[in-house]
Chain A
Amino acid sequence: MAAMIAHAPILIIAIPLVAAFLTPLVGMASKRARNALVVVSLLFVAFLVFALARDVVTNGIRVYTLGAASPEQTIPTGFIMPVRIILEIDGMSIFMGLIITTVALASLIYSLHFLKGQTGQARFYSLMMLLYAGMMGLAFTGDMFNLFVFLEIASIAGAGLAAYRANMADAVEGGFKYIVVSTIAGLMVLFAVGILYAQYNVLSIAALAHYMQHTLLDIIALGLLGSVFVIKLAAVPLHMWAPDTYTVAPAGVTPMIYTSSAASMYALYRVSFTLYGSTIDTTTLGRVVIALGVLSMFVGVMMAVHQTDIKRLMAYHAISQSGYMLLGVGVGLAVLADPVALANYGRNAINGGIFHMINNALYKGMLFLTAEAIFFRIGTRDLNRMGGLGHKMKCTAGFFIIGALAISGIPPFNGFASKLLIYETVFKFNPVLSVIAMFVSLVTLASFTKVFYSTFTGPEIPAYKEVREVPKSMIIGMGILAACIIFFSIFPGVVMDTIVAPATEALIDQASYISAVMGGVP
């Protein structure tokens, strides 16, 4: 077991990568064997992620150096800086790993029945595993170049999946927009990495943070990286691609692409806190992040409530919810250099933002799945053509209610716990921001009331008399996320102590991240 934990960082990335390439081959022999392969590999990887999470929470940061005599040997003998590929897993990385794995499991199980009878399933599962590997790599990587590589893997797989329903013109358009935006974003990351490498001759995040001089070139690299991650996480005003892509992606894929946006948010935090933390003016950077957060919350929700396409509406809500996370973490970043304010409310503001990340991945993922369940049965996303579905799709309606109440921040659901934390801490920073956040929650509730009324209530519509509840695998997929939401709602203290607080601590504690790789190097 100890050996497995020691090699878990690389296994978590390698297993889905290998499974991705084996899937089409196994699929040629048997479709059931192919499905079993992806499910079993993901279950095994999930076991490794949970075991690694326990290890990181108990023993602290774990590093894994590829090609070294021992995985812990980050700097080769005779060298003064790291030259090998290093995976570095701290509280924040594993927190992201847990989000990605939970959503991936639910999405995969949901997709099993959803795809029945459709062509190109081998490619679908292959891309799904590639997307998972890309996101996990992004969360675990300890160097900037591999951050670019994994970002590219996730982007290419995500675009392929978004355009999976190639018979629908808007799906191809959604996939095309995603790949254009992602490719330009990827090139900008590569350019930024080049700037940093040209100055410091290292690619390791810890080593770069150690040697960072705060030159004008560093600021340009930060601008490039920040803008790229902002467009990838779909914050206003760089959010426009998200509704176009989320809306058309098939069931199971939308929560995954949305989670890859959360992974980009993780990358933004990693760069802001860990790479640049002590060398830049975090107050200004924090204020920029807050401004993006407020814009995203407000514009996202106002655009959402106006939509009549159920998935487009949810896509705008995804943008709006990202705003809460940016707001919470932005406040923490803005007071990072002020120990008193950080202790008073900054740390809890980051806790709120981070807690909201996992809450949102769960209920937003589930809401996307309920929207696709409706589309699966009635073949339209147009709310104007829906009604009375609650008579036949009782489970889906139940899951929708749980998700809608959670996203609107209604107690006792988990969305309330993280939003309350954000309201209270942000209020201490600036009361106006807190009022805006509460207003956005109110409009969110109004928006989901509209969806619930339009979709599930009212008399049965004659055209949908034959509609039935969705198949079991789809219910299990939604059920996994619903169960997590209920657990997180009842036990917010456990979640906070075991995964959220260590993630916040990892973000704030730049010195530990650096010393895990650099050791005593001056």
Chain B
Amino acid sequence: MSVLAYGYAVWAPLIWIVVLVVIGVMVLIWRNRGQKSYKKGTAQTDIFLSGVRVPPEGQRHVKSENIYWGFFEALKRLYSGMMKPHTGIVNDYILWLVAVLAIAILILAVSG
């Protein structure tokens, strides 16, 4: 019931779930064996950022537009090409439909 056999591979999620549960239990046990003598609310539990001053709570969150900045910067040309057809104008959407229709009929007619 739980096993999905493809003919050349098998996917058995229950095994994965059992393994994940075992790993989870092991992590919890390991965590509970950790240091308990630290004092909450002192410098011991403050955020350490390589000696740099930590911004106040409301300003610590990295904004979504800055996440993966390097990825987008490296693929700037690809993105500018992909953005170009996304004009937001419904007339353009229909033009694309007409173009795809013409190409589809051509391909199907040529291939027979």
Interface residues of A (CB under 8 A from B): 176-177, 180-181, 184-185, 188, 216, 219-220, 222-224, 226-227, 230-231, 237-238, 240-241, 244, 280-281, 284-285, 288, 299, 302-303, 305-306, 308, 348, 383-384, 386-388, 411-412, 416-417, 420-421, 424-425, 446, 450-451, 453-454, 457-462, 489-494, 496
Task: Give chain A residues whose Cβ lies under 8 Å from the Cβ of B1.
Answer: 491, 493-494
Task: Give chain B residues whose Cβ lies under 8 Å from the Cβ of A244.
Answer: 88
CB of A280 within 8 A of CB of B108, answer yes
Given contacts A411-B16, A412-B17, contact A299 B90 (CB under 8 A): no
Of the candidate stretches B29-37, B38-46, B62-70, the one touching chain A is B62-70
Across the interface, B105 reaches (CB within 8 A) one of A184, A219, A237, A493, namely: A219
Task: Give chain A residues whose Cβ lies under 8 Å from the Cβ of B9.
Answer: 420, 424
Nearest Cβ distance between residue B69 and chain A, in whole angstroms? 11
Interface residues of B (CB under 8 A from A): 1-9, 11, 13-14, 16-17, 20, 57-58, 60-65, 67-68, 71-72, 75, 78-79, 82, 85-88, 90, 92-94, 96-97, 100-101, 104-105, 107-109, 111-112
CB of B4 within 8 A of CB of A303, answer no
CB of A240 within 8 A of CB of B61, answer no
Residue of B nearest to A347 (CB): B7
Residue of B nearest to A459 (CB): B57
Task: Give chain A residues whose Cβ lies under 8 Å from the Cβ of B5.
Answer: 493
CB of A238 within 8 A of CB of B16, answer no
Interchain CA distance A421-B9 in the complex, whole Å: 9
Across the interface, B108 reaches (CB within 8 A) one of A180, A222, A492, namely: A222
Nearest Cβ distance between residue B80 and chain A, in whole angstroms? 11
Across the interface, B61 reaches (CB within 8 A) one of A223, A302, A458, namely: A458
Given contacts A220-B105, A417-B11, contact A490 B97 (CB under 8 A): no
Task: Give chain A residues whose Cβ lies under 8 Å from the Cβ of B13.
Answer: 411-412, 417, 489-490, 492
CB of B64 within 8 A of CB of A384, answer yes
Query: What 3 pairs between A and B have smallest CB-CB spacing?
Result: A383-B64, A223-B105, A284-B111
Across the interface, B101 reaches (CB within 8 A) one of A227, A451, A494, namely: A227
Residue of A nearest to B19 (CB): A412
